[in-house]
Structure 1
Amino acid sequence: MLEWTTAGPGARLGLILHHDDAEREFAYDRNSPFGRLDRALAAAPQRGWTVVSMRNDWERVYRLSASPCSP
């Protein structure tokens, strides 16, 4: 799906939400027993895909401490 989406002309966004925080969500990674993500993570830098880490980046994406109305 990411290959198809980012192959077209014009600006495109290829984004992988890396579920690497087992405290918030089921974690899956390169060697997890389900939902392996090894090929996509390896291809991301070469293809210009953005990888968002639930463990490291999630508060920048979704402010957990802010109210829904704050900027």
Structure 2
Amino acid sequence: MAWVLLLGSGAMEAVWAIALAGAGKTRRIAPAAIFVGATALSLGGLALAMREIPTGTAYAVWAGTGAALTVL
């Protein structure tokens, strides 16, 4: 379960990165709200996954997943 949570958190990292890019271009509230929500889910999921997965491994998977999905 921790691995599924970790991969989902990595996906949320990609969502907040894309929303952050959108929030910088406009003054609309929606991209900013998506950024805040996705950031909370991403970091919260990472914190919960790190209860069962070592910190270095969890961070590497989380960051790698988020970076790969952001590029795609």
Query: TM-score range with shorter-chain normalisation?
Result: 0.3 to 0.5
* Structure with the larger RCO, 1 or 2 (CA within 8 Å, 6+ apart): 2
**Normalization by structure 1: what TM-score?**
0.34
